[in-house]
Amino acid sequence: MSFTPEQIKSGVLPYNYSKFKMKIDELQGVSACYRDRNGAIYHTYSSYARGIDLMNTTYNFLDLTAKGRDENPDSTQDWVRYHDEYKRRSNERSANDD
């Protein structure tokens, strides 16, 4: 979801059914809609923040490991890169076969 210039300027942003002091232009979320036979559209559901953890299946895999998410609590996901930006470490072989 996105915030207006006025909201960003105020420094208090509506998110996850609450308000937060933060400086950011965009944040992640999920919305669901339904379209009936006559073409009428209904909004049914929206979720934000940790409400979409379960769609991040990488986390669902990590939650089954011995070390868990193993993240810096003050900066979660600081280890995540775009998939083509991970540097291959010299002592490790590729994650992929190809």
Partner 1 sequence: MTNHKTGTREEWLKARLDLLKAEKELTRRSDELARRRQELPWVRIDKEYPFETKEGKASLADLFRGRSQLLVYHFMFGPDYTAGCPHCSAIADGFNGDAVHLANHDVMLWAVSRAPLAKLQAYKKRMGWSFPWASSLGSEFNYDFNVSFTEEQQRSGNVYYNYSKIGAPAGPHVELAASVGTDWPAYIRETPGMSAFALEDGVVYHTYSAYARGLDGLWGMYQWLDRAPRGRNETGFWIRRHDEYDRGASKDCCA
Residue numbers of the site for partner 1 (CB under 8 A)? 16-17, 30, 32-34, 36, 38, 40, 42-47, 50-51, 53-55, 57-58, 60-70, 79-81, 83, 86, 89, 91-98
Q: To the nearest whole angstrom, how small is the minimum distance from the Cβ of residue 95 to partner 1?
A: 3
Q: To the nearest whole angstrom, how small is the minimum distance from the Cβ of residue 8 to partner 1?
A: 23
Q: Are 50 and 69 in contact (CB under 8 A)?
A: no
Q: To the nearest whole angstrom, how small is the minimum distance from the Cβ of residue 9 to partner 1?
A: 26
Nearer Cβ to partner 1, position 22 or 80? 80
Measure the CA–CA gap between 26 and 8, rounded to whole angstroms.
10
Nearer Cβ to partner 1, position 8 or 71? 71
Token pair 């937060």 is found at 20
Nearer Cβ to partner 1, position 10 or 60? 60
